[in-house]
Structure 1
Amino acid sequence: MGSQAIEAHREGAEVYRGAALCAEKAVELLGGTQMPRGLLPLAEMEEVGYNRATGFVWLRQKKSITHTFKQISRQVSYAAEVTAFVEDRRMKRMTGVKTKELLIWVSLSDMYIDKDDPSKINFKTPTGLGRTYPVEAFAKEDDGKAKLPAAAAAAANGKETAVNAKAGK
């Protein structure tokens, strides 16, 4: 299904090739949609495409990989092709991403950061079940920074200050 969708959205898309350029563009895409920069730790990417008109994104890598997000002790599997429709703070109708729950792999179809609480990221399955984790758990490992975009960090700090003020701190 991924390859057919990619071909359907290829016309008018920005397409990048080469591991270094693809890694840079994937991080740029995540930053542009205010998503955590370490959310897609894909290795050896061969192609990244983004059709701005439809919001469709695809990432192709040489082979599927499994990554463990250490802060939350979660394994996530990324197929050789990962696709999604992106919006501000959201990736929906995703393909190629699974997480391990107990002993089975479960597909993820949606991930988003709620505007009311930018410190949490929500993940949903096609059946509607979901989990919420701290955004910091998906920070890009090589830079050590939290992945809250500047605007979201300011909003989170403002919310924290308001809570502290109410508590008399």
Structure 2
Amino acid sequence: MSAQFIERHRENAEIFSGSDLCKQKSIELLVELNMPNGLLPMDDIEEVGYNRSTGFVWLTQKKAIQHRFTKIGKQVSYDTHVTAFVENRKMKKLHGVKAKELLIWITLNEISIDDPSSGKIVFGTPTGISRSYPISAFEVENK
């Protein structure tokens, strides 16, 4: 997903900049969407934007990063631009996030919590394959 696509959604969007504020706003957004607060473990975020009328969200960081979710032993890559259309307990048309499965990187395009009582979060790929993990694996205790 390119910076040009982000530009089309800037009008009427809430836009924040600065690493500390962006980290705070990205966590607040996840909480607002009833998603685990550690789902976007990006630290060097330059800009966060949320267009509530379209549901479009973007995070821009200086460089791509990789993060290991230790509770499930999964490596995840976050590109310089991470974008999605969001709604309660769901991120659709996700771009910029990949998970390492064995030796290959798999693109993720949807993250959802279909049934909160199950305690599971589901990660989907463009090919229709999905995997579920405990929601708790993506929760971070507030400092």
TM value normalised by structure 1? 0.82
CA deviations 1:16-51 (Å, max 9, x no partner) are: 000011001000000000000000000210000000
2:24 maps to: 24
Report matched runs for 1:83-98 at 5 Å: 83-98=83-98
1:120 maps to: 120
Quick one: which amino acid aligns to residue 106 of structure 1?
I
Alignment gaps of 5+ in structure 2 = none
- Tell me how far apart the structure 2 counterparts of residues 88 and 82 of structure 1 sit (CA, whole Å): 18
For the Cα contact (< 8 Å) 1:2–1:95, is it kept in 2?
Answer: no
Runs of 4+ in structure 1 over 3 Å off: none
Report matched runs for 1:129-140 at 5 Å: 129-140=129-140
Q: Which has the larger radius of gyration?
A: 1
The total of aligned residue pairs comes to: 143
SS at match of 1:71: coil
RMSD, aligned CA:
1.2
TM value normalised by structure 2? 0.96
- 1:115–1:45 distance in 2 versus 1, CA, 3 Å: same
Report matched runs for 1:31-110 at 5 Å: 31-110=31-110
Alignment gaps of 5+ in structure 1 = 145-169
Quick one: which amino acid aligns to residue 105 of structure 2?
W
Quick one: which amino acid aligns to residue 54 of structure 1?
T
> Going by fraction, where is strand more abundant, 1 or 2?
2
User: Cα distance, 1:5 vs. partner?
Assistant: 1.5
SS at match of 2:38: coil
